[in-house]
Structure 1
Amino acid sequence: MADDKSGREKQARNADKRQRVRDIAAELERWDETEPEIDTAALAEFDSDLDSLDFPATGAEIVGRIGDREVEAADSMYTVEELVPETDALTFDSPSTLRVRVQRPTVAAAMKRVVEASEQLSSTDLSESQREAYEKTFRALKAIDADDDDEGIQAISDWIVDWIRDEEILPGSRAVRRQAAKFCRSNGYEIQNDNWLGI
Structure 2
Amino acid sequence: MADDKRGREKQARDAERRQQERDIATELDRGDESEPPVEAAALDDVEAALESVQFPATGADVVAAIGDRTIESDGERYAIEALVPETDREAFDSPAAVQVAVRRPTVASAMKRIVESIETRQDAEFSWSQRKAYETTFRALGSIDADDDDEGIAVIRDWIVDRVRETGDLPSSRAVRREAAEFCRTNGYQVRADEWLGI
TM class, shorter-chain normalised? 0.7 to 0.9
Q: Conserved in 1, the CA contact under 8 Å of 2:43 and 2:71?
A: yes
Match of 2:135 in 1: 135
Say what the alpha-carbon RMSD is for the aligned residues. Answer: 2.7
Unmatched 5+ stretches in structure 1: 2-14
User: What is the Cα deviation at residue 96 of structure 1?
Assistant: 1.1
The one-letter code sitting in structure 1 at the alignment partner of 2:102 is V
Number of equivalences: 180
Unmatched 5+ stretches in structure 2: 2-13
> 1:1-199 alignment to 2 at 5 Å?
23=22, 27=26, 35-145=35-145, 147-199=147-199
Q: Conserved in 1, the CA contact under 8 Å of 2:85 and 2:115?
A: yes
Give percent identity, aligned residues only: 54
Work out the CA distance in 2 between the residues paired with 1:181 and 1:145: 15
Q: Secondary structure at the match of 1:88?
A: coil
Normalised TM-score (structure 2): 0.81
The one-letter code sitting in structure 2 at the alignment partner of 1:129 is S
Q: Conserved in 1, the CA contact under 8 Å of 2:46 and 2:66?
A: no
Normalised TM-score (structure 1): 0.81
Render the CA deviation track for 1:115-138: whole Å, top value 9, x for unaligned.
110213233221222111111111
User: What is the Cα deviation at residue 108 of structure 1?
Assistant: 0.2
